[in-house]
A and B are shown apart, each in its own frame.
Chain A
Amino acid sequence: MIDKLRKDSIILIAIGLGILVGAYFYPSPAVVGAGFGVLAPGVVRLARYYYYRTPAHLPEYEAQQRAFSINMKDERKVFLRARAGQIAYQILFLTLLLLGAVGSLFKVNPWFCLTFLLLALFAYLCGAIAFYFLSRKL
């Protein structure tokens, strides 16, 4: 279990360094930021690996992993996450519609209004397609 932590950290560090090397050929703040954004968690994970592999700390890591595994599979928490996602989707959809409608009323740049309305349409279509495939599967 703990070896996965080391493997993941090496992969993240390798990808982060690869992106930073790529930034040398394509200098851009976004690329450099992405490189460090991937490298930093890899370094943190590697530090965690060396901390938790000692016999004194290994039981603590295994307890954390057990708790994490239970929290991921626990049916009430799965239900709460799904319900939270549903609420977030509804809020996002209504907000985008309102922004598009209010923007057009106050004569905001039409491209902004169109973007908001297209995003709302996209969110709606994603939800409809997800519902379709889930209802066929279940």
Chain B
Amino acid sequence: MTPRPGDELPVHTVSLVNADHMKIVALLLRDSNPIHFDPDAVRRAGLGDRLVNQGGATMAYVMNLLIAWAGSRAAIRRISCSFRGNVLAGDDVVVSGRVTEVEETPDGSLVTAEVWADVVGGRRAVLGEATVLLAGNPA
């Protein structure tokens, strides 16, 4: 069924954000910022005592939701996210979204949605907008 503006995307929870994953992502990104792998650096920066997840990794959680919803990694056409708050090791993160626009094309429904990632019991970490192609919904 073709989605309509106002429809909610599924809610997906990422449980217990993993400090070891942050270290792997730091290597992949060549990101030398120690708040992703050195608890002492986190304390010195006044950010508490838990490692800070990379914004790009939290954005990847939003991409995972869109991939599951649209059915393919190729479906994502555009995603833009602003980083509003930190996700820390051990946090649970809820990602979801809401359809804002649907354009019918010969290739399917081009769906734009507001998307977000929230720390459970806390702050909004990511807010953005994404466009995906639902190829099973040709015009």
Binding partners A and B: no
Task: Spell out A's residues near B (CB within 8 Å).
Answer: none
Task: Spell out B's residues near A (CB within 8 Å).
Answer: none
